């Protein structure tokens, strides 16, 4: 599987098939729980976010949870970060919920699932030949497999991440499909820039330029809204 080159951004931009990082709120959750009962809570899975984390011991499983409504769209995509010193992982991941459309994948998940729950496991990634670049932070990712499904009933849904080959390293998972509506997202973009560049281990001396750029975009957006 070959992924075509694209440019992506946390700022507004065109929808690109398979790669759409715009409007994703970064999330740095720390070490999640390794079972459904101890899963780390996320916001609603429909809201776009980028989960930045790492598997630091062989066999480690990360589990996140969120409340879902019947018929809600569940979307998740794996991204392999391009780090200056290496140290990335290409994890397996799965969406777990009640009465999902497919259940044959459940045996691949390294977790015990309660009765009535099933899982959709992302297919193994093919060749990751061309990374995408975020226009704001200038970080790069190799886009990986996507899970895009819907729940049949409401309740708690889960996202499980693990390394099938017991590899360790950093990973990025995008969840959701809806843009954040709160103005706090735009006000926090300079902070997001700082956090993401630091997580990648990249130079952050351009912070002032990033803040000015975001301010100009915000000013332009405010003027457009006033004209309407």
Q: Is residue 54 included in any domain, yes or no?
A: yes
What is the average pLDDT across 113-123? 90
Q: Report pLDDT for 87.
A: 92
Q: Residue 37 is part of which domain span?
A: 7-180
Q: Contact at 8 Å (CB) between 97 and 199?
A: no
Provide the number of structural domains found in the chain.
1
Rounded Cα distance, 115 and 134, in Å: 41
Q: Is the pLDDT of residue 45 over 90?
A: no
What is the average pLDDT across 129-139? 86
CATH number at residue 162: 2.60.120.380
Q: Is residue 143 included in any domain, yes or no?
A: yes
Q: Is the pLDDT of residue 30 over 60?
A: yes
Confidence of residue 19 (pLDDT cuts 50, 70, 90): confident
What is the average pLDDT across 44-72? 92
Q: Which residue has the higher pLDDT, 78 or 43?
A: 78
Q: Is residue 17 included in any domain, yes or no?
A: yes
Least confident span in 2-6, 37-41, 159-163, 198-202: 2-6
Confidence of residue 216 (pLDDT cuts 50, 70, 90): low
Q: Is the pLDDT of residue 220 over 80?
A: no
> What's the order of all strands across the beta sheet hosting 92-98?
40-41, 61-68, 155-162, 92-98, 117-121
Q: Is residue 150 included in any domain, yes or no?
A: yes
Q: Report pLDDT for 169.
A: 95
Rounded Cα distance, 43 and 9, in Å: 22
Q: Is residue 113 included in any domain, yes or no?
A: yes
Q: Report pLDDT for 7.
A: 35
Q: Is residue 156 included in any domain, yes or no?
A: yes
What is the average pLDDT across 42-68? 92
Confidence of residue 223 (pLDDT cuts 50, 70, 90): low
What is the average pLDDT across 146-157? 90
First to last CA, the chain: 44
- Residue-wise pLDDT tens digits, 163-206: 988 889 999 999 999 887 777 888 888 899 999 999 999 987 76
What is the average pLDDT across 113-140? 86
Q: Is residue 50 included in any domain, yes or no?
A: yes
Residue 139 — φ and ψ, nearest 5°? Answer: -90, 160
Q: Is residue 133 included in any domain, yes or no?
A: yes
């Amino acid at each position: 599987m070959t992924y075509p080159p694209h440019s992506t951004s946390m700022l507004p931009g065109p929808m690109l098939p398979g790669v759409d990082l715009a409007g994703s709120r970064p999330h740095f959750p720390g070490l999640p729980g390794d079972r459904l009962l101890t899963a780390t809570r996320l916001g609603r899975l429909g809201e776009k976010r980028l989960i930045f984390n790492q598997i630091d011991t062989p066999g480690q499983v990360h589990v996140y949870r969120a409340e879902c409504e019947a018929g809600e769209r569940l979307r998740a995509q794996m991204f392999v970060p391009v780090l200056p010193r290496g140290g990335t992982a290409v994890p397996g991941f799965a969406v777990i919920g009640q009465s999902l459309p497919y259940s044959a994948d459940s045996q691949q998940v390294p977790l015990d699932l309660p009765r009535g729950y099933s899982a959709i496991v992302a297919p193994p990634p093919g060749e990751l030949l061309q990374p995408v670049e975020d226009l704001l932070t200038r970080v790069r990712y190799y886009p990986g497999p996507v899970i895009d499904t819907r729940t049949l009933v409401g309740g708690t849904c889960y996202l499980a991440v693990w390394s099938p080959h017991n590899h360790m390293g950093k990973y990025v998972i995008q969840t959701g499909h809806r843009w954040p509506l709160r103005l706090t997202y735009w006000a926090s973009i300079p902070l997001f820039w700082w956090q993401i560049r630091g997580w990648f281990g990249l130079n952050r001396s351009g912070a002032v330029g990033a803040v000015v750029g975001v301010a100009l975009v915000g000013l332009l957006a405010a003027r457009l809204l006033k004209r309407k």
